[in-house]
Each structure stands twice: as C-alpha cells, then as structure tokens.
Structure 1
Amino acid sequence: MASSCIGKTWCSSARVGLSLSSCVASVAGKRNRFAALLQREQGGRKVSVSSSVRSQSDPIGGIQEGLVCKPSVVTGVPSELARSRRRAGRTSQYRFIMAQAASADGAAGVDSSATFPTVGFLGLGIMGEAMARNLVKAGYDVTVWNRTASKCASLATEGAKVGLLPRDVTEACDITFAMLADPTGALSVACGEHGAVKGLGPGKGYVDISTVDGVTAMKINEAVKATGGEFLEAPVSGSKKPAEDGTLIFMTAGDKALYERASPALDVMGKARFFLGEVGKGAAMKLVVNMVMGSMMASFSEGLALGDKIGLDANTLLEVISLGAINTPMYTLKGPAMVKGQYTPAFPLKHQQKDLRLALALGEEVVQPLPVAAAANEVYKLARAAGLGDADFSAVLETVKSHSRGSTSNDH
C-alpha cells in the first residue's frame, strides 16, 4: 500500500533520484543542518537513491494509503536519530530523502505543509524542553507553551512559535504533545478554563506524555473524545539525558490511528515505542517501571550507606557491582555522582515519590501487596520532608545515610 501512496508525492522521480548531498544543497537556510544529518547517517558517503527505494513498504507505519495528502499525516522526517531506527532497515533513509524532497518543493513554491504536521508541545520542564527542541531540530513546525512563559524564550530563538494558552496551541496544531509534572497538572492543562481540549476537534490529536494514573488518563481521553479529537497516552522511560539525546522509550495506548500519525515524531524523541492497547495501559506500564526503579535506587542507596559504614571503598564497591549480574545502567550512571554527594536533577525525587504513591494505589486497587515498594516510598517521603524533593531521586542516599548516623548500636 505504501508504494501507491508514494506515487502521490509532489516530487518527481527525477527529483527523488538526486543524490542526497545535492538535495541538501538545494534547501536554502537548512543546508548545514541537513548536511550534518546526512553525514551522521551515511558516514560521509555520497548516496544516490533510485526509484526502488521510493517503492519500499514502510514497516514503521508512518505512511498509509489514502492519507499521504492530509496535512495531519507525516510522510517523512529527517532521520536525525538513525540509531533508533535500525529495525526499519532502509526506511529511515527513505524518510530522510522524502523530507529533503518536500523541503525542496517548498523552496519551489509547493505547499510542504502536507508533509510535516504542525506540532504543539505543552510543558517545558527538564524533559519537555529537550523533547520539543529535538522536534524543532528535526524540521517540525512547533508551537510551545509553558506555565512560566520565560521558559519558552530559548526555543523561540531556535525557531519555535509560542502560544499564550494551551488552547491556542491545540487550535494551531495538528498534533499536540503534553509533558506535565503530575496528574493535577496534566488534567488542568488539558481540561482547565483555557485548556488544550478547547482547541481540539476532528482531525486533531492530543498526546499526553505525562506520568499519571489510569483514572486521570481516562478523564483526559473522555474530554478529548468529546471534541471529536483523538487521544494517545505516551508516558516515557528515561530522564534528562535520554530526552536530550532522543533515546526515550514511549509506552503508548489509545487511538491506534493517532499512534500511527504520531510515530515519526515519537521516533525523533525516542529510540523505542510500544503500543499497549486501550487507554490506561500506558499509565500502568509506566508506574510499574518507575516503581521498580524507585525500589532499586533505595536498595542501591542502602548498599552504599552500609559499605560506607563498614569502611568499604565506595569506588571499589561500584566497580564490583558494575562487573556483576546485578549491574544496571542506572547504577553505572548515578553511582559515581552519588558517592561524591552530587545530585543534579535529571529526574526529581518528588516525582519518583509521586510515582511510587500512584503505583501503590494501583496495587491496592487490584489487591496486589507491594511491601518492598511501600518501604521505599516511606524513605522517599522522608527525603521530601528533608527538603530533597527538587534534587535528583538518587539523593535518597542522603536520607538513608542520615538515618544511619542517627541510629545507635542498640537499634534493632
């Protein structure tokens, strides 16, 4: 089906047959950026593309028959993060070519809005700003909003537009992503007085990336559906660095059609994505993952604290852990900074505690005891009470250590 859709593109076979390097050179204002993308993807080699590439199927699912001419459908995204698309074989190369050709059409006076959807992004915190920036870099027409408007300034200088209200963003965009701190914030931005749903309607999509509980996700879904729009929950696994690098993992659920349309944008921001079915499954998956992560960090902190108390060298302990089966990327990344007492926030501790609380509530709902997570949650609550909420969640080590110092040999 994809081959019939490709025949509808605005590029002649001769234009698509141009080498990537010559296509890049024809795009005014984007030459350096696309040349860098080309060099990254092809290792600096000049690559010519025949019409056979254009007739490939699209295993990622970003192109469907009959949809290619609609403004809300992505038919090509520069493969800025090619490492995340190895599973698609040459498809990433195809999308890169199509993006260049569409850009060249724009320079020639052809409407390229049918190639890239207009994209909104609500919430420019630690994660959101990096994710929105990757969309801007990939060539999307992005409109951003943040409760603290000054946080929009940096992206505005990089080419993003700024909306005054959430509804302004959804009115202007085909697909809007929202990355808010908690269920209250997610619900307020979506359904408040000037909320995002006020600007939605048929043909528009709302993708909530926030970590919320299933009930909140369903409320937002109902509000979006009432407008005739489409809803997708898409919480992520990953923190600041993966957001910056475009290597997040998306756990999505909801409208499958919106998932297909949003997938190219998700691929710009992440290295993997999963469609889990009905609304609520994405939130549940995210809470389980973060519950495990929080419990692991609490246990890791206890190990470091105990090692310190009995006189073990912290760096040697980290090395021993790194060489064994219990090692994880989290320990490798966080451990060295933790032993130095450095907790620059990549994932704030207050958010980790919030996710543990939501996971425990989910466990109660289905009558599944979670004693380890419950114990970890109490430690994070103490850390928040001690003023560590805005520090990285690894700062829970400080609370573990402080309780160790406050205990006596008679404590059992």
Structure 2
Amino acid sequence: MTSTIDAGVCGFIGLGLMGMGMAKNLLKKRQHHLIIWNRDTGKARDLATAFPGRVTVANTPKEVVSTAQVTFSMLSTLEASAAVFEGPDGVLAGTGPSTAIVDCATLTPERMAEMATQVEEKGAIFLEAPVSGSKGPAEQGTLIFMCAGDKALYERVAEDLDAMGKARYFLGAVGAASRMKIVVNMTMGGMLACFSEGLGLAKAADLPLEDLLEILDGGACACPMFKLKGPHMLRRSYDAAFPLKHAQKDMRFAVELGDKLAQPLPVSAAANEVYKRARQQGHEDDDFSAVAEVTVHHDKQVNGGAANGKAGRA
C-alpha cells in the first residue's frame, strides 16, 4: 500500500548507534521532513546540519509526537524507554487522537503491551517494530523489522520500513514482535558465545586460529556473523556495532521469557553468564564480540581487565 504521509512530517526519537542510521535512510529515501529529539543534542544538531531544511530539532519528545504524523522511537533500554515515554515532557504527554507511534526498541513483551495500552487509551495507534541488525545494517538500510500491533499503521508506514530495512514481518498482536526479537537475539548471542569458546579451545590446543576461521567458513558452520566477527576477536578489536551490555540484556530477557513459559534454555542461560562476566571485566560498551575476552584471551586479563587497558582500542 502506498504511504499516505509522503512529504509529511515524520518524528524520530533516539539517535544512537541504530537510530542515526535509520533516520538518515528516511531522509535519503523518503520525502519526509523529520522532527527529531535525542538526549545528546549534539547528535540532533549534526543531523540537522547534514540535511539543511529537512530536519527540525525539538526541545522535548512531547514536541515531536504532538507535531509529527508518525513518530519512530529507537531507545536502547527499559530505563531510557520509561524516562522518555512517561516523563512530564515525554511521548505520552504529546499523544492524542491523531498520534501514531512506531517503537523499534528491543524491550520486553510486557513493556511493549503496557506502552500500547497507554497510547491507545489516548485514542492513538501503536506499532511495535523491533529490528534484527546492528549499526552497519542500520546505516545501509538492511534491517529486518518484526512488527505487531495496529495492522493499518503497519501498512501505512510500509514504505518507511522499506527505506530502513530489507524485510518486514507482521506477527499479530503487540508482544509477538518483541518475543520474536528476543528469540532472534538469544540465538545470535548463543552462537557467538559458542564460537568464542571454540576459538578459546583451539588456542589452548595450540592450533592456528586463522586456519580455524577458514575451516569453519568453508563448511556447514559458515555464517556471516562468524566471518565478520572472527578476525576482530583474534585482534581484540571491539568497536561497538552491537554493545555487549545490550546483548546481555537480550539474553536475560530470553532466560526470563523461558522461565515464564517453563521452556528449558540451558545453553542460553550459560551463555548469559559468560556475557555477564565480560561486563564485569569492563567490556559492556564494547561490541558483543568482546565475549572473547572471557574465553579466548582470559590469559591476558590483568586485575579484571585487558592487559593493555581497553581491549582492541588504538
């Protein structure tokens, strides 16, 4: 269905690792004027400078929502979501019958359902739309959207989602998209933790790690994530595309969901503990591939941190 908001005013809240790339793709590929808000006002001003005449920097989230025809939100944590959504000048304060909210964060299903109820009680409409992909796909416009909630809103913003991503799925009632995102990130986090253990075992067995990467890439274990992350893990280079603290948060969400559903998740529970240990060693703001510091480079740890300070940082 063709979007009904071409050349309209679109809101965007949250210009972090993911949100900045997403907002830029809306500006490059669509004809919207963006009204934006970010806690770091410098990032908002930088975006306005990069797209003169196309971007308005709002003073509050309330101003964004009360002005825009559709507002996209991309906030990284439950705490940030609550503060921005429910604050005195937050999203809810600006919500009314003409409001449409598309929340792209990775939150719990319960939190998404609560937000949807609060929005709908004000006569507005809500779509949850978490994404699969990290900083690179956000910049490239190749995210995968998992959506649930108001089907008409999903169809209304279809072209906007297509500008930011390569695929989109509508999964039903609010909560379903967050559950799917948790499953996806749990699987990804578990895979990387196991990969890291494999590198660690090969190292302990005095095997050439570069050869291991080639052997894995040439067989049934080949996958884009191992091919991308493996060389960085060997070099201890962890510039954040997906911060480890967020990966561990998502593993925790998965374990909690498993507990609620009485679904055994022994592998994911163990992987969660490995990510927690990496956080304790000071790698929470590094890329989640820094899990290698626990299983591959643990012999180089000094006093709970990397031997040369922040691992992999020039």
For the criterion TM > 0.5, the same-fold answer is yes
CA distance in structure 2 between the partners assigned to 1:392 and 1:403 by the alignment = 17
Q: Which residue is 2:254 aligned to?
A: 359
Q: 1:377 aligns with which of 258, 262, 272?
A: 272
Deviation larger for 274-283 or 301-310: 301-310
8 Å contact from structure 1 (residues 207, 233) kept in 2: yes
CA distance in structure 2 between the partners assigned to 1:210 and 1:395 by the alignment = 23
CA distance in structure 1 between the partners assigned to 2:281 and 2:185 by the alignment = 22
Q: 2:69 aligns with which of 155, 174, 182?
A: 174
SS of the equivalent of 2:296 reads helix
Query: Do residues 151 (structure 1) and 43 (structure 2) align?
Result: yes
Q: 1:137 aligns with which of 28, 34, 59?
A: 28
SS of the equivalent of 1:312 reads coil
CA distance in structure 2 between the partners assigned to 1:116 and 1:189 by the alignment = 27
Q: Which residue is 2:2 aligned to?
A: 62
SS of the equivalent of 1:399 reads helix
Which residue identity is paired with 2:26? L
CA distance in structure 1 between the partners assigned to 2:296 and 2:229 by the alignment = 16
Compared CA separation, residues 133 and 140, structure 1 to 2 (3 A): same
Which residue identity is paired with 1:399? V
Which residue identity is paired with 1:400? T
Within 5 Å, which residues of 2 pair with 1:61-100? Answer: 61-62=1-2, 73-74=4-5
CA distance in structure 1 between the partners assigned to 2:92 and 2:157 by the alignment = 18
Q: TM-score scaled by structure 1?
A: 0.70
SS of the equivalent of 1:357 reads helix
Query: Do residues 305 (structure 1) and 200 (structure 2) align?
Result: yes
SS of the equivalent of 2:71 reads strand
Q: 2:180 aligns with which of 280, 285, 300?
A: 285
8 Å contact from structure 1 (residues 251, 285) kept in 2: yes
SS of the equivalent of 2:72 reads strand
How many residues align? The count is 297
Q: Which residue is 2:304 aligned to?
A: none
CA distance in structure 1 between the partners assigned to 2:32 and 2:214 by the alignment = 43
Identity, in percent, stands at 48
Within 5 Å, which residues of 2 pair with 1:22-41? Answer: none
Q: Which residue is 2:309 aligned to?
A: none
SS of the equivalent of 1:203 reads coil
Q: Which residue is 2:312 aligned to?
A: none
Shift of 1:405: 7.0
Within 5 Å, which residues of 2 pair with 1:122-271? Answer: 122-138=13-29, 139-159=31-51, 160-271=55-166
Which residue identity is paired with 2:129? A
Shift of 1:148: 1.6
CA distance in structure 2 between the partners assigned to 1:172 and 1:307 by the alignment = 56
8 Å contact from structure 1 (residues 209, 236) kept in 2: yes
CA deviation digits over 1:360-385, x for unaligned, max 9? 11111111110000000000001001
8 Å contact from structure 2 (residues 131, 146) kept in 1: yes
Which blocks of at least 5 consecutive residues in structure 1 are unaligned? 1-60, 64-72, 75-114, 407-412
Query: Do residues 328 (structure 1) and 219 (structure 2) align?
Result: no
CA distance in structure 2 between the partners assigned to 1:305 and 1:117 by the alignment = 53
CA distance in structure 2 between the partners assigned to 1:323 and 1:346 by the alignment = 25
Q: 2:239 aligns with which of 344, 364, 368?
A: 344
Shift of 1:259: 0.4
CA deviation digits over 1:43-64, x for unaligned, max 9? xxxxxxxxxxxxxxxxxx236x
Give 1 or 2: higher strand fraction.
Answer: 2
Q: Which residue is 2:12 aligned to?
A: 121
8 Å contact from structure 2 (residues 203, 296) kept in 1: no
| Bigger radius of gyration | 1
Structure 1 stretches of at least 4 aligned residues deviating more than 4 Å after TM superposition: 402-406
8 Å contact from structure 2 (residues 133, 143) kept in 1: yes
What is the Cα-based RMSD across aligned positions, in Å? 1.3
Q: TM-score scaled by structure 2?
A: 0.92
Which residue identity is paired with 2:285? D
